[in-house]
Amino acid sequence: MPEITYIEAIRQGLFEVMRAHPDVVLYGEDVGAFGGAFKATLGLQKEFGKERVFDTPICESAMLGVAIGMATQGLRPIVELQFADFITTALHQLLNNAGTLHYRTGVPVPMVIRAPCGGGFSGGPFHSEELEAIFCHMPGIKVVYPAFPCDARNLLHTAVMDNSPVVFLENKYLYRHIKEAIPAKHDPLPFGKARICRNGRDATVITYGAMVNETLHAARDLIDDTGYDITVVDLRSLKPYDKDTIMAAVASTNRVLIVHEAWHTCGFGAEIAAHIAENAFHLLDAPVRRLTAPDCPVPFAPVLEERYRPNSAKIVSALVDLIEY
C-alpha cells in the first residue's frame, strides 16, 4: 500500500462519504474550484457539482446556522472552516443552537465542522489556536482529533454518520508532515476509542494531535539515552474519551504525563488529570504532570513559537523529572 499524507487521507475520506451518501453536502470558504485553503477539497466540486460542494461568504455564524437548518431537514452537512480560530464568531450557533437542539426538540443535528488548528508554521494568533477545551465543555457536542492519516479518514466516516454535531479537529502541521499506508477501504472506528501507540513500563504519556508524533519521537530518544520505556496513548477522540484505556495505562506504569499544544489553564489535560486523580489516585507513584503551551497568545516569530509549543526535547525533560520524582 502506498503511503499518503494526512491531508490526502482527509480528502479521500470526503470523496468516500460523499459517494456513499447523497445526503452529504460540503461547503465553506473557497472549498469549490479552489479546493480549500489547504486543498483538502480539491476535485470535490468537479465530481459532485456546485449543489453539493459550494463556497460561502466569510461569515462563520451563518455557515453554522445554515448547517443546523440543513441537518434538521434530512441532510448531513460538512462545514470547512479555514482556521479553527474563526469559529469563535459562531459560538452561539454551536453552543446554544446546535448543542441543545436535540435535547430541546428530539430532532437530531448530524453536522460536521472541520476545523484546521495548531501551530508550527509561524501563523501567529488567529491562525494557530487550539480550542478543543472550549468545544469539549459544550453539552451535545462531540470532538475528535486524529493524529494519523488512517485515523483521520476513518473518524471522518464516523463523524459524518453520527447524529450529533461533531467538531473534527485537524492539526495543520500534520497535513503534509505525516504519511502512512492505509487500506483501500476504511475500517469503522467508533468515538471514544484511544490508540496505544507503544507500550512501556516507566511512565504513560496521554496526548493527541501533533503531540502524539512529538511524544513518539521523545520516547525513542528517551529509551536510547536513559533506558526509560514509555507508554504512549493517543486519545483520538476527546469527547467522548476512552477512560478504560487511560485507567489501564495508569495502572501499568503508575506515572502520567499529559501533553497538549493548547494553553495550560483549563486545557483539556486538566480534565484528564482530574479524572485520574478522582479514580486512580491509589495507583500513582508521582503527581500527574502536564506539559502544555503557556497562557499567552501564539507568537508569530519562529524562535518564539518554538519556545511556546511543546516538542520532543521538552517531553523528554518532563518525563525524566516525572520518572525520577
When pLDDT is averaged across residues 248-268 and rounded to a whole number, the result is 98
Mean pLDDT across the chain: 97
When pLDDT is averaged across residues 195-211 and rounded to a whole number, the result is 98
Q: Assess whether 177 carries a catalytic annotation.
A: no
Q: In this structure, is the dihedral angle defined by the CA atoms of residues 64, 67, 69 and 71, taken in order, positive or negative?
A: negative
- Give pLDDT, residue 140: 97
pLDDT over 90 (residue 184): no
Of the pLDDT bands very low, low, confident and very high (cuts 50, 70, 90), residue 237 is very high
- Give pLDDT, residue 154: 97
Q: 149-161 and 6-20 are packed helices; what angle lies between their axes, rounded to 10 degrees?
A: 30
Q: Which regions of 139-202 does DSSP assign to beta strands (E)?
A: 142-144, 166-171, 179-181, 195-198
- Give pLDDT, residue 290: 98
Share of the chain above pLDDT 90, in %: 97
Distance from C-alpha of 311 to C-alpha of 259, rounded to nearest angstrom = 9
Give the three-class secondary structure for 9: helix
- Give pLDDT, residue 241: 98
pLDDT tens sequence across 79-118 = 999 999 999 999 999 999 999 999 999 999 999 999 999 9
- Point out the catalytic residue in the list 127, 157, 186, 260: 127
- Give pLDDT, residue 178: 93
Question: What's the CATH fold of domain 3-181?
Answer: Rossmann fold (3.40.50)
When pLDDT is averaged across residues 171-178 and rounded to a whole number, the result is 95
195-323 — its CATH code? 3.40.50.920
CB atoms within 10 A of CB 278: 8
What does DSSP assign to residue 301?
A: S
pLDDT tens sequence across 276-294 = 999 999 999 999 999 999 9
pLDDT tens sequence across 80-91 = 999 999 999 999
pLDDT over 80 (residue 144): yes
- Give pLDDT, residue 229: 97
pLDDT tens sequence across 7-53 = 999 999 999 999 999 999 999 999 999 999 999 999 999 999 999 99
- Write down the domain spans for the chain: 3-181, 195-323
pLDDT over 80 (residue 271): yes
Asked if domains 3-181 and 195-323 share a fold, the reply is: yes
Query: For cell 463556497, what's the residue?
Result: 55
- Give pLDDT, residue 188: 85
- Give pLDDT, residue 2: 82
Query: For cell 496513548, what's the residue?
Result: 233
Q: Which regions of the chain does DSSP assign to beta strands (E)?
A: 3-5, 24-28, 53-55, 76-80, 112-117, 142-144, 166-171, 179-181, 195-198, 203-207, 230-234, 237-239, 256-263, 289-293
Tell me the Ramachandran region of residue 298: left when phi exceeds 0, alpha when psi lies from -120 to 50, beta otherwise.
beta
Lowest-confidence segment of 1-5, 47-51, 125-129, 269-273 by average pLDDT: 1-5
Give the three-class secondary structure for 207: strand
- Contact, 113 vs 166, CB < 8 A? yes
pLDDT over 80 (residue 1): no
- Give pLDDT, residue 58: 94
